[in-house]
Amino acid sequence: MTYIEGFVIAVPMTNKDKFLAHAAYVDPAFIDHGATRVVETWQDHVEKGQHTDFFRAVSAQDDEAVAFAWIEWPDKTARQAVMTRVDELMKSDVRFNPESHPAPFDGKRMIYGGFETIVEHGEHVDDSYVQGFLIPVAESKKKAYRKMANDVWPMFQEYGALRVIETWQDDVPEGKQTDFFRAVKAGPGESVVFSIMEWPSREVCQAAHGRMQTDERMRMPPDAEMPFDGKRMVYGGFVPVLDLSRPLVMGE
C-alpha cells in the first residue's frame, strides 16, 4: 500500500520562483530512485486558527507562505531503501546534495515524516486542487478513525472529491523547533494523521464545504464520539505547483 512522506514548509513569498526551480531540480531524483509521485503545493486558502494552523506549524513569518508537499512510495520498503543510502546518494547524485543546490527556505523549520496509508480511495487527476489536513488522533481510536474515513468517502465522492489518502504516523521525528506533534499539539497517547483530499477545482471544493453544513449525514449521532479533537485539526487549501509521477511497475 502507498507509503507517504509528508512535508510542510515555510517559504518566503519572494522566493516562490526559487522554490519552484529547486523542486523542479530535486524532485525528479525521488522519481528516479523509486517514488511513484511527488507533489509540491502552494498555499491558496489557508486561514489562521484559534488553537492550531499551518502557519504556526512551521513558525511562518508574515512574509512567508506555506507549502504542503508529499512523496508517494510504492511501500515503506521502497522509501527506506533510499533513506538508508542518503549519504551515498549525496555523493553519487548531485541532486541529493543540499550544498550544491541549497533550499530557498529555512529547513530547520520544515516538518516532515513517514506515514503509513490506512485509507485510500479514488484516483489522481492532473491539476487537481488539494486540501491538506494534520489531525491528532488517540492511538486507541485508530480503528474508529479509519472506519469514519471509509464511511464518509462515498459522501465526499458525491460532492465531487477525486481522491482521499488518510495516513497514520510511522516514522515521524521530533524536531528542535517544529514538528508534526507540535503542529497539532499532540498529547500523550496521540498520533498524527497526515491527510490529503483532491478536488477538480477550488470552486468544487468550496461548494462541497457549503453542502456539508446542511447535509444531515454529516451530523454525528447523539451517542457517537468523534475519534479526534477537531479544534486542533490543521487544514487548508493548496494549489499544486509541481506534480511528478511515474507508472507503477508490475510487482510494486
Q: Could you give the angle at which helices 202-214 and 142-159 cross, rounded to 10 degrees? A: 110
**pLDDT, position 213:** 82
pLDDT of residue 142: 97
Residue 215 has what pLDDT?
Answer: 77
Supply the pLDDT for residue 191: 98
| Cα–Cα dist 185/57, whole Å | 9
Give the contacts of 166 (CB within 8 A, at least 6 positions apart).
117, 118, 119, 120, 145, 146, 149, 193, 195
Please calculate the CA angle 176-179-184 and round it to the nearest 5 degrees: 135
The distance from CA 105 to its chain's CA centroid, rounded to whole angstroms, is 18
Rounded Cα gap, residues 26 and 178, in angstroms? 23
Given a contact cutoff of 8 angstroms between Cβ atoms, the answer to whether 191 and 134 are in contact is no
The distance from CA 64 to its chain's CA centroid, rounded to whole angstroms, is 19
Quote the pTM value: 0.94
Mean pLDDT by groups of 10 residues along the chain of 252 residues: 96 98 96 96 97 98 98 96 91 90 95 98 93 98 96 95 98 97 97 98 94 77 79 97 74 47
For the chain, which residues make up each domain, given as ranges? 3-215+224-239
* CATH fold for domain 3-215+224-239: Alpha-Beta Plaits (3.30.70)
E strand segments, the chain: 3-12, 37-45, 64-73, 111-122, 129-138, 163-171, 190-199, 234-245
Task: Render the burial of 120-156: b for 16+ CB within 10 Å, e for the rest.
Answer: bbbeeeeebbbbbbbbbbbeebeebbbebbeebbeeb
User: Cell numbers of 26, please?
Assistant: 530535486
pLDDT score recorded for residue 217: 73
- Looking at the DSSP bridge assignments, the partners of residue 43 are 238
